[in-house]
Amino acid sequence: MEKVIQVDIEKCVGCRTCEVACSLKKTGRVYPSRSRIKVIRFEKRGEFHNYVPMVCQQCSTPLCMDACPLNAISKDPNTGAMIINEEACVGCRVCTVACPIGGVSLDPVTNVAFKCDLCNGDPECVKYCEPQAISYVPKDKLDLQTKRAKSKRFSELFLLKL
C-alpha cells in the first residue's frame, strides 16, 4: 500500500524541526530555505499562532507531472512519490503553477524544481514530529485518527442516550 505524509494542522507547534530534518538529510546542512517541507506561519502576536506544515501530498492526479513540458516528473513505482529528474528539469516553474497546494518549488541553489520524494519510503521529517502533526500513513488509513477524534463527541452523545 502506498503511503503519504498526512498533515494534522491542529497538532503543529510551529517548531520547524521537520525543516531541519529534511534539509540535513537532503543537503547535509541545516538549510530551511532548501527544505522540501515548510511550516507556514499565520501569526499575530497577542492574538493567534497558527501553523500549517506544507508538503507535497503526492496527488492521485499529479498535475505537476501532467504540466511538465519536459516530462521531467515521474512516479516512483515503489513509493508512489512524484520524482523530479534534476538533469531534465530546466526550472521553467510550470509545475509550481500547476500544483494546487504549493507542494513543489524552485531550489534556490540548483535552480531546478524540487519537492518531497518521501525519502525512498522512509521520510526523515516525520521521525522528529513528537506531536505527530505529520505522520507517514498508508493511503487506506488516511484521516482515520481525525475521523475517530471527531466522532468521539457523537459517541458521547450516545452515552447520554440522546
Identify which of residues 27 and 88 has a Cβ nearer to another protein in the complex: 27
Q: How far is CA 15 from CA 3, 18, 19, 28, 53, in A?
A: 24, 8, 9, 20, 10
Please list every residue from 81 through 100 that binds another protein, using CB under 8 A: none
Residue 73 is a binding residue for another protein (CB under 8 A): no
Compute how many other C-beta atoms are within 10 angstroms of the C-beta atom of residue 147.
10
Determine the interface stretch with another protein among 1-9, 45-53, 57-65, 141-149 (rule: CB under 8 A).
Answer: 45-53
Contacts with another protein by CB under 8 A: the residue count is 35
- The H or E element spanning position 149 is helix 144-159
How is residue 26 written as a grid cell?
537532503
Instruction: Enter the C-alpha cell of residue 56.
Output: 507535497
Q: 82: which 3 cell numbers? A: 512524484
Question: By CB under 8 A, is residue 16 in contact with another protein?
Answer: yes
Per CB under 8 A, 69 contacts another protein: no
Query: Which residues contribute to the site for another protein (CB under 8 A)?
Result: 13-17, 20-21, 23-25, 27-34, 40-49, 108, 124, 127-131
